[in-house]
Structure 1
Amino acid sequence: MDRRTLLRVAVVGGGGTAFAGSLWSAAFADPAQPGGGPYGSLRAADGNGLQLPSGFTSRVIARSRQRVGGTTYLWHDAPDGGACFTAGSGWVYVSNSEISGTGGASAVRFNADGSIASAYRILSDTNVNCAGGATPWGTWLSCEETSRGYVYETYPLGGTTAVRRPAMGRFKHEAAAADPVRRVVYLTEDETDGCLYRFRPTSWGELGSGTLEVLVAGSATSGPVSWARVPDPDGSPTPTRNQVSGAKRFNGGEGCYYADGVCWFTTKGDNRVWAYDAVNQRIALAYDDSLISGTPPLTGVDNITGSRGGDLFVAEDGGNLEINIITPDDVVAPFLRIAGHSGSEITGPAFSPDGTRLYFSSQRGSSGSSSGGITYEVRGPFRS
């Protein structure tokens, strides 16, 4: 039984038992290998500089320091992590700004037909807001990628002031992913000897208090793991990653995405995509470029998201600036490539609520400067 079958079982059965026992182990016994992607080869670059498969089109949504189309709002510098949220008959795309001191996050609101309704700021004057994650109750967790950085809970629809959440730990935050079944939030850490954390709120839906835990395991890349409480989430004087003996180290934690009993997360230092089986508390490798024969298609592993069809979409920081797809039958292949942006990275991949549009940014665009960021939308026949 391959991963697509398992995912479909999870959807039908509520996501509780599809990955149990030997089935989960078999599904991830071998990390993904290069092959023909489900959408075919990439075409020549379009007018926006994107190489896409046949049937897909792109548009530019916003450019740093320029007005978002049809609004007076100036888009932020260095767009980074992002997510989409339902907003009435339309939706909102939220994007972080990875700038020191004046970072924060902005939002673009879309009408039901995809036209831009408005754009606005939802978090201001925070520090190096890199990635984050959406909550089931419709908020965006914006994470500071600094030593003893904070998580800020923000409100994509606007009108509510963002709230700092120190109970979620002070460390070099990267991304977050909420697990509504176990009622925890997973958190990655962008350090060469970083950890994977989970936060257990005292009350689900309220992040003001709770328990911060760190994943504990040996040096193996697969097998059972456990969790241990971090004694001092404030991280001073001892950093959170150094407070628990046996905490498993990850080389540069980046993107984090939860679906159907599995938390997928990436590490840029070794170009890996990991899978944590939350049902049975096991980890495995979903992708490792050192296990690829020949030239690996996916390098500079960074942000990650998933589609309705169970495909993973992994953005590159470096490499040849692609978003690669990892299919449920463990094939990895390029989905899109940005031409002429060698000094940039791809950030913030996120699907619209109906799964028909993919948003992402080139953080520094063709200029290589944080003021040159470009945010895109891609439409097409995504698998469901």
Structure 2
Amino acid sequence: MQRRTFLTSVSAVALSGALWQDAANALTAGESPYGPLLAPDANGVALPAGFRSRVVARSGRSVGRVLWHPAPDGGACFADGTGWIYVSNSEVPLVGGASALRFSADGSVTDAYRILSGTNLNCAGGRTPWNTWLSCEEIFRGKVYETDPYGTRGAQQRPAMGKFKHEAAACDPDNRVVYLTEDESDGCFYRFVPAVWGDLSSGRLDVFCTDNVWRAVPDPTPGVFAKQTRQQVSSARHFNGGEGCHYSAGVCYFTAKGDRKVWAYSVAAQTITSIYDGGGSLDGVDNITGVPGGDLYVAEDGGNMEINIITPDRVVAPVMRLDGQSSSEITGPAFTPDGSRLYFSSQRGTSGEKAGTGGITYEVTGPFRH
């Protein structure tokens, strides 16, 4: 990997409960808490000592009851008895949707099935506290679909959450809202306030504004020729290409690919601050996830195809790298409920084919910090 030499502006932002109070303390390049990356393994995955990888699905190949979808993107894990489920979006037009992999307690894949079909460019999304998956369309007037990871209930469209070029969603159970990012060069940061927590069929869509105030979007479901949501409130604050989104302990973290920034919205302070300002080799910031202990994991879209850790003590370092896949991007990082396994995909794999059979979905096991 290349060394990171960058500074970032940090002030009064809580990183999973640890206050970043000193603006002079910058994020710095450092050694991963897991140690340096070793040579790539048989799957082409470079990992620290004590970690191992395996391929659990490939686009266009049979797994469970389905052919695994092309262009695997955002994902999440859900408890399932003594096992777990990993869901994954498909970022292709017309047939996008999402699929699920079911695992037994020993990690064996026992089933795979579709949980959403016939939708467009399902990019990222987010899990809910009531164990559903929000699959988001990254298209003009895109929608949010609430899906059942267990495959027993049909998907439901949630238009009250807005029609725009959706990227990711992060539920905040403490304040009973859902944060949403928008993948436009002048995209906005939204929150959806359900009329009833746990029911996303109705509620209010707000947009974050330049004076650190949330204001209601007048028309969350505009028609084709109407003013788009990001243009309806003149004081709305804009972000360059909103991507992944993750909530933890009073802070919603989200990435913006246009300027390679990681942002942090502090609920208590009602402010948004950049905690990573680019300028290093953490390139193409995209999907983001985290663990209760405070570590964040940021996946790269391009760059040198790494997942990087951002620790509460302000160190940024790679925890894995894919070699020979420079025409791809890393998507859908998600931990199992016990934190022992990390799932993610290479959207286009070694072939670079987005709509073809290039996608690869991986599992990494090892002594992850929880």
Instruction: Please give the range of the TM-score, normalised by the shorter of the 2 chains.
Output: over 0.9
How big is the alpha-carbon RMSD for the aligned residues of Structure 1 and Structure 2? 1.6
The partner residue of 1:188 within 177, 181, 196 is: 181
Report if the CA contact (8 A) 1:297-1:333 is conserved. Answer: no
Equivalent position of 2:366 in the other structure:
380
Determine the C-alpha separation between the residues in 1 that align with 2:33 and 2:246. Answer: 21
Identity of counterpart residues, as a percentage?
63
Residue of structure 2 in register with 1:49 after alignment: 44
Does residue 324 of structure 2 align to residue 340 of structure 1? yes
Judge conservation of contact 2:93–2:120 (CA < 8 Å) in 1. yes
Runs (4+) off by over 3 Å: 27-31
CA contact (8 A) 1:361 1:374 kept: yes
CA 1:29–1:215: 2 relative to 1, 3 Å: farther
Query: Does the C-alpha gap of structure 1 residues 170 and 28 become closer, same or farther in structure 2, counting only changes over 3 Å?
Result: farther
> Structure 1: how far apart are the matches of 2:182 and 2:346?
22
Structure 2 unaligned spans of 5+? 1-9
Partner AA of 2:95 in structure 1: T
Partner of 1:213: 206
Looking at structure 1, the residues matched to 238 and 312 of structure 2 have their Cα atoms a distance apart, in angstroms, of 27
**Relative to structure 2, which stretch is displaced further, 26-35 or 71-80?**
26-35
Q: Distance in 1 between matches of 2:364 and 2:172?
A: 27
Structure 1: unaligned runs, 5 residues or longer: 11-17, 219-224, 291-295
Does the CA contact (< 8 Å) of 1:28 and 1:285 recur in 2?
A: no
Q: Residues 248 and 292 of structure 2 are in contact (CA less than 8 Å); yes or no, is this contact kept in structure 1?
A: no
Whether 2:240 is the aligned partner of 1:251: answer yes
Match of 1:77 in 2: 70
Partner of 1:177: 170
2:136 corresponds to which of 143, 160, 168: 143
Structure 2 distance, partners of 1:58, 1:235, is 45
Is the CA contact (8 Å cut-off) linking 1:322 and 1:338 kept in structure 2?
Answer: yes
Structure 2 equivalent of residue 221 of structure 1: none
| Contact 1:132–1:142 under 8 Å retained in 2 | yes
Note if 1:365 corresponds to 2:346.
no
- The corresponding residue for 1:287 is 276
Q: 1:85: Cα distance to partner?
A: 0.5
User: Which letter maps to 1:32?
Assistant: L
Partner of 1:229: 216
Structure 1 residue 114: Cα displacement: 1.0
Measured after TM superposition, the shift of residue 235 of structure 1 is 2.8
Does the 8 Å contact 1:28/1:284 carry over to 2?
no
Task: Please tell me whether residue 37 in structure 1 is matched to residue 32 in structure 2.
Answer: yes
Aligned residue for 1:116? 109
Amino acid at match of 2:296: L
State the match for 2:250 in structure 1.
261
CA deviation vs aligned residue, 1:8-58 (integer Å, no higher than 9, x gap): xx7xxxxxxx57xxxx35066645221111111111010000000111000
Aligned to 1:13: none
Q: Look up the SS of the partner of 1:289 in the other structure.
A: coil
Give the secondary structure class of the aligned counterpart of 2:62. Answer: coil
Q: Distance in 2 between matches of 1:123 and 1:261?
A: 31
* 2-structure distance, mates of 1:134, 1:30: 33
Is the partner of 2:21 in helix, strand or coil?
A: helix
Structure 2 matches for 1:155-166, cutoff 5 A?
Answer: 155-166=148-159
Of the three residues 296, 301, 317, the one matched with 2:301 is: 317
Q: Counterparts of 1:322 and 1:208 in 2: how far apart (Å)?
A: 37
Deviation of 1:310 after TM superposition, in Å, equals: 1.3
Q: What's the TM-score, normalizing by structure 2?
A: 0.93
Deviation at 1:245, TM superposition (A): 1.4
| Displacement after TM superposition at 1:124 (Å) | 0.2
**CA positional deviation for 1:73:** 2.1
- Contact 2:65–2:113 at 8 Å: present in 1 too? no
After superposition, give the CA deviation of every residue in 1:324-351 in whole Å (9 maximum; x if it has no partner).
Answer: 1101111111111001111100000000
* Matched residue SS, 2:73: strand
Distance, in Å, in 2 between the alignment partners of 1:140 and 1:279 is 27
Q: Give the 3-state SS of the residue equivalent to 1:167 in structure 2.
A: helix
| Aligned counterparts of 1:181 and 1:307: Cα–Cα separation in 2 | 17
Letter in 2 for 1:376: Y
- Following the alignment from structure 2 to structure 1, what is the Cα–Cα distance between the partners of residues 161 and 249? 23
Q: Measure the CA separation in 1 of the matches of 2:88 and 2:57.
A: 11
* Whole-angstrom distance in 1 between the partners of 2:348 and 2:90: 11
1:319-376 Cα offsets, whole Å, 9 max, x none, are 0111011011111111110011111000000000000000000000000002210000
Q: Which residue of 1 aligns with 2:3?
A: none
Query: CA shift at 1:226, angstroms?
Result: 1.4
Paired AA for residue 235 in structure 2? G
Task: Give the letter aligned to residue 92 of structure 2.
Answer: I
Is the 8 Å Cα contact of residues 31 and 285 (structure 1) preserved in structure 2? no
Normalising by the residue count of structure 1, what TM-score does the alignment of the two structures yield? Answer: 0.90
Does residue 307 of the first structure (1) align with residue 264 of the second (2)?
no
Alpha-carbon distance in structure 1 between the residues aligned to 2:23 and 2:58: 39
Q: Is the partner of 1:44 in helix, strand or coil? A: coil
